[in-house]
């Protein structure tokens, strides 16, 4: 049971640090030997949809501060940097994901900041710990654009409110969330 009385969402193997450490260790070696940047875990179509959404969103400009939590290989932010976004930062709890992202950004000759940061417990994601960590990162009135392969928009909305006010853009299957002024 979560602190707010709701039930904690169950995670999957994709939510374990061990899974991502092993995956990105292999991805780093593949990049070194073949220049293979690795997987876009949500798929390139999904990544492109999010980028198009950001480009159309009046509240986000090329100079807006954009943070990708769980950036993996950094391709999303690298694509944003190539599109002219200048203040992009990625964090991931898998050190090799950050290593790979830095290598890919250097190879693509774009300026993106990547750092290692762990917002969860060592072994598994806890959605409540995640929400609290993200809440501290998003300034009051700031925006959180979230995609998830583990939970539906309605499950995320139930856990993110009342800290955030959610509005779903069903045309893009994204959840755009504004942090409440608290």
Phi and psi for 76 in degrees, rounded to 5?
Answer: -60, -50
Verify that 58 and 145 share a domain, yes or no: no
Verify that 76 and 130 share a domain, yes or no: no
By three-state DSSP, how is residue 125 classified?
A: coil
Q: What is the pLDDT of residues 108-132, one digit of tens each?
A: 999 999 999 876 653 344 556 667 7
* Closest C-alpha to 179, from 137, 127, 150, 148: 137
Verify that 89 and 135 share a domain, yes or no: no
Domain membership of residue 96 (yes or no) is: yes
Verify that 19 and 61 share a domain, yes or no: yes
Predicted confidence at residue 170, as pLDDT, reads 43
Verify that 28 and 115 share a domain, yes or no: yes
Predicted confidence at residue 42, as pLDDT, reads 75
Question: Tokens 């300034």 — which residue?
Answer: 139
Verify that 114 and 39 share a domain, yes or no: yes
Predicted confidence at residue 137, as pLDDT, reads 78
- Per the structure, the count of domains in the chain is 2
CATH of the domain at 113: 3.40.50.150
Verify that 54 and 93 share a domain, yes or no: yes
Predicted confidence at residue 110, as pLDDT, reads 97
Verify that 133 and 112 share a domain, yes or no: no
Predicted confidence at residue 162, as pLDDT, reads 64
Verify that 27 and 90 share a domain, yes or no: yes
Verify that 95 and 130 share a domain, yes or no: no
* Domain extent for 181: 126-182
- Examine the fold and report which residue of 104, 123, 142 is the final residue of a domain before the chain moves on: 123
Domain membership of residue 82 (yes or no) is: yes
Q: How far is CA 140 from the centre of its chain?
A: 19
Predicted confidence at residue 144, as pLDDT, reads 76
Verify that 180 and 111 share a domain, yes or no: no
Predicted confidence at residue 175, as pLDDT, reads 47
Predicted confidence at residue 180, as pLDDT, reads 44
Angle at 173 between CA 168 and CA 175, to 5 degrees: 40
The radius of gyration of the chain from alpha carbons, rounded to an integer in Å, stands at: 16
Domain membership of residue 4 (yes or no) is: no
The low-confidence residues of the chain, meaning pLDDT below 50, are 1-5, 122-125, 170-175, 177-182
Verify that 61 and 143 share a domain, yes or no: no
Predicted confidence at residue 123, as pLDDT, reads 38
- Examine the fold and report which residue of 73, 93, 123 is the final residue of a domain before the chain moves on: 123
């Amino acid at each position: 049971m979560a602190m707010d009385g709701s039930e904690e969402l169950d995670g999957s193997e994709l939510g374990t640090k061990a899974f991502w450490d092993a995956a990105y260790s292999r991805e780093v070696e593949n990049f070194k030997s073949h220049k293979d940047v690795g997987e876009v875990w949500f798929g390139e179509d999904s990544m492109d949809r999010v980028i198009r959404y950001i480009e159309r969103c009046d509240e986000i400009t090329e100079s807006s501060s954009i943070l990708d939590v769980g950036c993996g290989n950094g391709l999303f932010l690298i694509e944003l940097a190539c599109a002219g976004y200048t203040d992009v930062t990625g964090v991931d709890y898998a050190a090799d994901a950050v290593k790979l992202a830095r290598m890919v950004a250097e190879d693509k000759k774009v300026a993106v900041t990547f750092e290692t940061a762990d917002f969860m417990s060592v072994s598994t994601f806890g959605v409540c710990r995640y929400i609290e960590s993200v809440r501290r990162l998003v300034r009051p009135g700031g925006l959180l654009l979230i995609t998830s392969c583990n939970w539906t928009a309605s499950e995320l909305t139930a856990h993110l409110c009342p800290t955030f006010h959610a509005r779903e853009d069903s045309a893009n299957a994204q959840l755009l969330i504004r942090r409440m002024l608290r």
